[in-house]
Structure 1
């Protein structure tokens, strides 16, 4: 089984360079194409230039005025079909819930859980796709 003509694109948003590089490597080692941004403004620029982005994996604390939750809200408005997965060193705030935030992982997160969640987002029913559309035998 091989995926043909389809490289799911994940946007990784992380202000810490080493963590960003690690997340990009995890995505690429799992068969995804990864693009990266170091803050919310750069992420929005990437979203405008890469229409094939299907999932955004973002840290909440981006050491800037605009955090990962702000970014998720902008994605919900401008790109409602893109799913967002957030990560943080802190527990998820109880009063925060956006329907495009499909998962929240505390650092350190499990690579396996993260990749499984991204696969669900890429091939899940919200997008109306099935893996059969992208796999050749």
Structure 2
């Protein structure tokens, strides 16, 4: 995969192939570079390999021992500036609130809401810092 260091990169983590492909397609249609992982371990490998990833969009239930909640917590420890957007077929767990989770969408989510949230994450104040004028 050839990723430009200037294109916003979103990592999609979803165990169901069709849903993963759909989410990747949504990201690419919106002009983002999209990478995909089918589980939390694969996502961590990609995060370590590609420092251009700015946002992770993950399902909670990844049909594995390490779920999306675990993944968000690991991302928060290792890459605290990477924002995480979580999705699930179930309501948001009350005890789940890592600092880096910026949004939670119950499935089915709308493409418009998801893209707007990703744009806020990528182009928000955590990302863009005005250059300091030289004297």
Structure 1 residue 127 displacement after superposition: 2.1
Once the two structures are superposed, what CA deviation does each residue of 1:101-127 show, in whole Å capped at 9, x if it has no partner? 000000000100000000000000122
Once the two structures are superposed, what CA deviation does each residue of 1:16-58 show, in whole Å capped at 9, x if it has no partner? 0000000000000000000000000000000011100000000
In structure 2, list runs of 5 or more residues that go unmatched. Answer: none
> Does the aligned pair in 2 maintain the 1:57–1:84 contact within 8 Å?
yes
TM-score, with length taken from structure 2:
0.91
1:37 aligns with 2:29: no
Map 1:20-99 → 2, pairs under 5 A: 20-99=20-99
Rounded to whole Å, the distance in 2 between the matches of 1:106 and 1:129 is 32
Name the structure 2 match of 1:12.
Answer: 12
Structure 1 residue 128 displacement after superposition: 3.3
Rounded to whole Å, the distance in 1 between the matches of 2:55 and 2:114 is 12
Rounded to whole Å, the distance in 2 between the matches of 1:119 and 1:128 is 12
Rounded to whole Å, the distance in 2 between the matches of 1:119 and 1:34 is 14
RCO comparison, higher one (Cα < 8 Å, 6+): 1
RMSD: 1.6
In structure 1, list runs of 5 or more residues that go unmatched. Answer: none
Name the structure 1 match of 2:128.
Answer: 128
